[in-house]
Structure 1
Amino acid sequence: MTALTTPGMNPITEDDIANYLTNSPDFFERHAEVLASVQMTSPHGNRAVSLQERQAEMLREKIKTLEGRIMDMIRHSNENLIIADKLQRWALGLMRTDNPAELPERIVADVRSQFQVPQVAIKVWSVAPQHADAPFAQGVTEDAKTFASSLTSPFCGANPGFEAVQWLDQPAQAVSLALLPLRNGAISSAAPAFGMLVLASPDSQRFHSGMGTDFLERMAELASAALSRLRG
């Protein structure tokens, strides 16, 4: 920090000057020529500009940054509204499905089409006897059931070779995954899972560990509520 020294006196620091100017707002009224003579370097072309012009540039930059943030907020808000609308339409479709046995296939088809997920699979266990032989209730090991019950939030990330990936039509194309446990009540509850919904994409960034999972949680809870009809 630069300090101004006067013989026999303590050095005057930049903070002292800044404090004086802050507490003496009429200084530049008494010495208008000082304000007019201050020259600064512009960040655009390294040319000399007046203090007023530099302040105007700084304000324009701040306004531009704030405008960018506002546009991002509007974009995210619009995206959230679109997703919320899709969730509502999806929920209505599930409620209007009369035959419970059609629900797993309906869920898979709707998630693919409405949410543009390349691959989707679902398995449901502990179903009523009349559904025990259905494809959606077959081919699930005890390890997979235990793993599903251990999830209290959606798993999102790279494919490490989970058994559930083999439920997909093209498991080799599953680069990133979202695994949604299906259980009674909230997804975070301690209730054992009675199924799992698998979302997969060839895009490594479609599902990642840092993404928000609010909508995936709502999706899991809606699917769980609908599929509870399969359990008798």
Structure 2
Amino acid sequence: MSTEAKKQAHEILVDDSLIAAYLEENPDFFERHPQLLQSLSVKHQSKGAVSLVERQQQVLRQRVHQLEEEITELMVTARRNEELFRYFSQLYVKLLQSSSLEEVMDSLQQTFSEQLQMPALSLKFFDSPLELEEQFTFAADTHKQLLSKRFRDDSIYLGRLSADEQRLLFPDESIASVVLLLLGDKGELGMLAIGNHDAGHFEPAMDTLFVKQLQVLLTQVLPPLLQHHASA
């Protein structure tokens, strides 16, 4: 085989992936060949050709900056979660101490409207034989289509509503996204709806830990209050 043929065969066998693999397996390669660090150069978009060492420093600085941003974001999220935990813990205590539906609504309004800046809140009961105020009831069977459409697989819904559904739950507010909680052991008691003007605030992929706990607590707290309301 001629020298040129051998060279071509060698070029075919040694490609970029093999070189990259070799360098990964031999991280001390440039320590053993320090002269290459000075002779090799890497094309930089804004600075032209720079040395390999300089380019490595640039990459490391970029990575450090990225990590700093990620840490900052994690700290902001941690502070927000701590704040949510505090608000919900205070709400749970107030709900357990409530002696009427009105007190339940006041506590919910204080937490979601005042502390969490949620502009709309609705608590309604299904097929209740009690004489409840209009704010706590659905007109006729207007809610059944909502139930069949939004609660096929879960007792919690996060996302957007149709225009008719918005009017049913929030007739006085223009709501873009909601979290809906069915109340009762089987979702038979009623529904808590919390709305926000931001279409992206409530998304299906969101964590539901806090609202699930609220759902369980309201399922236990509300039935005795409804009975008390009936006998009052």
Flag whether TM exceeds 0.5 (same fold): yes
CA 1:114–1:17 in 2, change beyond 3 Å: closer, same or farther?
A: closer
Distance 2:109 2:122 in 1: 9
The answer to whether the 8 A contact 1:126-1:231 is kept is no
Distance 2:67 2:221 in 1: 44
User: Structure 1 regions of 5+ residues with no counterpart?
Assistant: 185-190
> Which residue does the alignment assign to 1:37?
39
Matches within 5 A, 1:120-139: 120-125=121-126, 132-139=131-138
| TM-score, normalization by structure 1 | 0.76
CA 1:142–1:18 in 2, change beyond 3 Å: closer, same or farther?
A: closer
Matches within 5 A, 1:53-72: 53-72=54-73
> For each residue in 1:130-170, what CA deviation from the matched residue of structure 2 results, as whole angstroms up to 9, or x when unmatched?
x5344455444345268548732322222214557434350
Distance 1:8 1:109 in 2: 81
The answer to whether the 8 A contact 1:182-1:220 is kept is yes
The answer to whether the 8 A contact 2:101-2:226 is kept is no
> Which residue does the alignment assign to 2:6?
8
The answer to whether the 8 A contact 2:126-2:138 is kept is no
The answer to whether the 8 A contact 2:91-2:108 is kept is no
> Which residue does the alignment assign to 2:106?
106
> Which residue does the alignment assign to 2:190?
195
Q: Residue 206 of structure 1 aligns to a residue in which SS?
A: coil
> Which residue does the alignment assign to 1:96?
97
Distance 2:145 2:214 in 1: 21
Q: Which amino acid aligns with 1:118?
A: P
> Which residue does the alignment assign to 2:157?
155
Q: Residue 11 of structure 1 aligns to a residue in which SS?
A: helix
Give the deviation of 1:222 after TM superposition: 2.6
**Does residue 222 in structure 1 map to residue 221 in structure 2?**
no
CA 1:51–1:103 in 2, change beyond 3 Å: closer, same or farther?
A: same
> Which residue does the alignment assign to 2:51?
50
Distance 1:146 1:24 in 2: 65
The answer to whether the 8 A contact 1:165-1:174 is kept is no
| TM-score, normalization by structure 2 | 0.76
The answer to whether the 8 A contact 1:121-1:197 is kept is yes
CA 1:42–1:123 in 2, change beyond 3 Å: closer, same or farther?
A: same
Q: Residue 226 of structure 1 aligns to a residue in which SS?
A: helix
Q: Residue 8 of structure 1 aligns to a residue in which SS?
A: helix
Distance 2:202 2:183 in 1: 18
Give the deviation of 1:104 after TM superposition: 4.0
| Aligned-residue RMSD, C-alpha | 3.1
> For each residue in 1:162-208, what CA deviation from the matched residue of structure 2 results, as whole angstroms up to 9, or x when unmatched?
5574343504x223222221113xxxxxx142011122233322333
Distance 1:163 1:16 in 2: 60
CA 1:230–1:57 in 2, change beyond 3 Å: closer, same or farther?
A: same
